[in-house]
Structure 1
Amino acid sequence: MKQAHDVYAEHNPAYCAYVAGAFVTAHAEVHPAGPDLAIVYLAVPIALSGDLAATFDGTNKNTGLLEWLERTPQMSVGLADRVNAALEIVGEAVRYGCFTDVLRLSMEGRLTPGSKKFKQSPLSDLDPHSIGAIRRARRLGTWFATAGSTRNIFGILGLTV
């Protein structure tokens, strides 16, 4: 049986909070202070993007952001538009994550895992694309954490604030 791709479900704040939480948790494993809120707005659209999914094939958490970008120069094309198009979706996901205490936003503008943990059992009910987005978010969390400052990450991706 062929499963349909559900764009509405992919933009569900709870699901996107799960993706953002995967990114934040992986980032916090490297840097316990957590990522700046701004880079979550970069990571979630990249992780959710179906057209970039294949660019993660053959990578792991040790690949790193720079090596991935060298392998995937097309990633930067249209990145600003992709991020801008997802601003509302990511904002709702962060608010949902903070409201449910699976994410916490510090006074310094950093996200950390909250006191509640994401349940792993719902993952078994997701389609492969959705599971892949969560895995990509984790990988991006590690890569962004090892890439340096938020300013450095924006620069590597060819973006300015």
Structure 2
Amino acid sequence: MTVAHDVFAETNPAFCTYVLTAFVTSYLSIKKDGPELPISYMALPLALSGDLASTFTGTNKNTGLLEWLERNPRVHVGLSIRINASMNIVTDAIRFACFARILHLNEAGCLQLGPSKLKKSAVKALSDEPAQSIKHAERLGFWFAMAGSTRTVFNVMELTV
């Protein structure tokens, strides 16, 4: 039996809203001001990248961004290309999440949880790979928040705006 990988399904705004909300929720558990919008453009492609999935093996929320990157220097390879290629996907996810009132962009440019909630049953019904993307986003949320400022995250990831 051949298993098809549905890239379209994993990059649609509704699914990406789940991934992005997992990132924001875990970030908020560390820093109440929420993630600044630019690091969402980094988090989503990292969490969704199937070729980076193995880099999350053996990690947890306490691993930290620096340790993860030290263990997996290949994360840096082509990172700016990966982020630039996914900008439309992330923008669509943010718009969808804000219009659905799942997320809210505050006046400071930080993402916050909105008044609407996502259905947890939808996540439980996911196959392994999409479910792992959500777990990876959660870890990235913890790691980015623990790293400090958005500037620090960009510096550690060797990116410039």
- Backbone CA RMSD of aligned residues: 0.9
| Unaligned 5+ runs, structure 2 | none
Question: 1: CA distance between counterparts of 2:135 and 2:119?
Answer: 15
Report what 1:119 is aligned to.
Answer: 119
Deviation at residue 48 of structure 1 after TM alignment: 0.0
What is the SS of the residue equivalent to 1:136? helix
Deviation at residue 33 of structure 1 after TM alignment: 0.9
Question: 1: CA distance between counterparts of 2:145 and 2:3?
Answer: 34
Question: 2: CA distance between counterparts of 1:111 and 1:50?
Answer: 25
Report what 1:86 is aligned to.
Answer: 86
Q: Equivalent pairs: percent with the same residue?
A: 53
Report what 2:49 is aligned to.
Answer: 49
| Unaligned 5+ runs, structure 1 | none
Report what 1:144 is aligned to.
Answer: 144
Q: Please list the CA deviations of residues 9-64 of structure 1 after superposition, one character each: whole Å capped at 9, or x if unmatched.
A: 01110000110111001001111110000000000000000000000000000000
Question: 2: CA distance between counterparts of 1:124 and 1:64?
Answer: 26
Report what 1:60 is aligned to.
Answer: 60
State the one-letter code of the partner of 1:18: Y
Deviation at residue 2 of structure 1 after TM alignment: 5.4
Q: Please list the CA deviations of residues 61-119 of structure 1 after superposition, one character each: whole Å capped at 9, or x if unmatched.
A: 00000000000001000000000000000000000000011100001100011111211
What is the SS of the residue equivalent to 1:19? helix
What is the SS of the residue equivalent to 2:34? coil
State the one-letter code of the partner of 2:102: V
**Which deviates more from structure 2 when the two are superposed, residues 123-132 or residues 42-51?**
123-132
Question: 1: CA distance between counterparts of 2:88 and 2:103?
Answer: 17
Report what 1:132 is aligned to.
Answer: 132
Question: 2: CA distance between counterparts of 1:14 and 1:65?
Answer: 27
Number of matched pairs: 161
What is the SS of the residue equivalent to 2:35? coil
